Amino acid sequence: MLIREFVPGDTAAVCKVVERSLGENYAPSLYMTVHNLWPQGFLVLEGEDGVIGFVASVASTPKVARVLMLAVDPGHRNMSGGSMLMDALCSNCIATDIDTVVLEVRKSNAKAKLFYERLGFAVTGEIERFYTNGEDAYKMSRSLLA
């Protein structure tokens, strides 16, 4: 498995990962918009058969990156791909002088919350009815300062 920056030709594969892992069907143009905002913040995980995961983030302020989506295809989980994506993102943040990474996670997604905690994220708050189905989110944050 390797990590590289998203390129426009990855759009269809990323759409499939999003549909399978997050149950969403966003317009393909969304991915180009995110890519254009901060190319180093949109990374894909490539396996033998192509793209099997990705992380999409934006630099929400000059010092803070916000993860918009992270997913690895069900058949390729628990093989460190998600951790590799987050580690690569954090390295790109440090190289860009970003010192904090923030994200939201569904309160019901205990597995993802634990995953992020293992990577050094901590809950900093809650947002009521954050998701379109009315579900609440935990706000999580990780400082990249040594």
Contact positions toward ligand COA, by CB under 6 A? 21-22, 69-72, 77-83, 105, 109, 111-112, 114-115, 118
Q: Name the minimum Å distance from CB 35 to ligand COA.
A: 18
Q: Name the minimum Å distance from CB 30 to ligand COA.
A: 15
The encoded tokens of residue 70 equal: 């992270």
Q: Name the minimum Å distance from CB 18 to ligand COA.
A: 9
Q: Nearest CA to 60 among 82, 28, 88, 38?
A: 38
Measured from the CB atom, the residue of 114 and 123 that comes closer to ligand COA is 114
**If you search the block for the tokens 């579900």, which residue do you land on?**
135
- With CB atoms as reference, the residue minimizing the distance to ligand COA is 82
d(CA 103, CA 55): 11
Q: Nearest CA to 130 among 144, 119, 140, 115?
A: 140
The encoded tokens of residue 82 equal: 């998600």
Measured from the CB atom, the residue of 97 and 124 that comes closer to ligand COA is 124
Q: Name the minimum Å distance from CB 133 to ligand COA.
A: 14
d(CA 41, CA 7): 12
The encoded tokens of residue 108 equal: 């019901």
Q: Name the minimum Å distance from CB 83 to ligand COA.
A: 3
